[in-house]
Amino acid sequence: MKPLRGRKKSAPEVESAELTRFEPVVQDSFSLVMAAREGVLAKVAFEVADRLLLHLSQMADILHITTKTLQSYKQSKKKLNPANSEQTLKLFALQMKGKEVFGAADAFRRWLEKPAYGLDGQVPLDLLETSGGIDLVMEELERIAYGDLA
């Protein structure tokens, strides 16, 4: 697996009707799982990657699919499988929380790239490959939001 580190140039956040539709969904675990079971369009993964300032190859690595497959799914307007959909939606929720905690996508991205004390020195970005890892990073963001030493 390629390392997940690497910075994408900051891009303005794109307001997408598709992502806006998922904002309330990702706030509720049950709704998130139900949406993931239906599958989300591959273009949502591209939009989430943009918001997290990830290269497409990084997003593909996180989802354990090839960049070519991800691009093909987007072109053919295919949905991701339930596991990839869940991961994509959780990443969207993480991005929303990160922006809330750090105030800007760039600041959140910088935090994702550095070892985190509350994650036993692990780099948060490296933990995003699994649903459980995303949960751990989200818990760390919650601790930071509430003023715990992180």
Domain extent listing, the chain: 17-145
Least Cα distance to 61 among 130, 117, 118 occurs for 130
pLDDT recorded at residue 9: 44
Give the contacts of 130 (CB within 8 A, at least 6 positions apart). none
Contact 74, 43 (CB under 8 A): yes
Tens place of pLDDT for every residue, the chain, 150 residues?
444 444 444 444 445 777 888 998 999 999 999 999 999 999 999 999 999 999 999 999 999 999 999 999 999 999 999 999 999 999 999 999 999 999 999 999 999 999 999 999 999 999 999 999 999 999 999 999 988 754
pLDDT recorded at residue 15: 58
pLDDT recorded at residue 11: 43
Give just the sign of the alpha carbon dihedral 98, 120, 61, 81: negative
Alpha helices, DSSP H, located in the chain? 17-22, 29-38, 42-51, 56-63, 67-75, 82-102, 105-112, 131-145
* Other Cβ atoms closer than 10 A to 51: 23
Residues 130 and 9: their CA atoms lie apart, in Å, by: 25
pLDDT recorded at residue 147: 85
Q: What's the predicted TM-score (pTM) here?
A: 0.87
pLDDT recorded at residue 149: 57
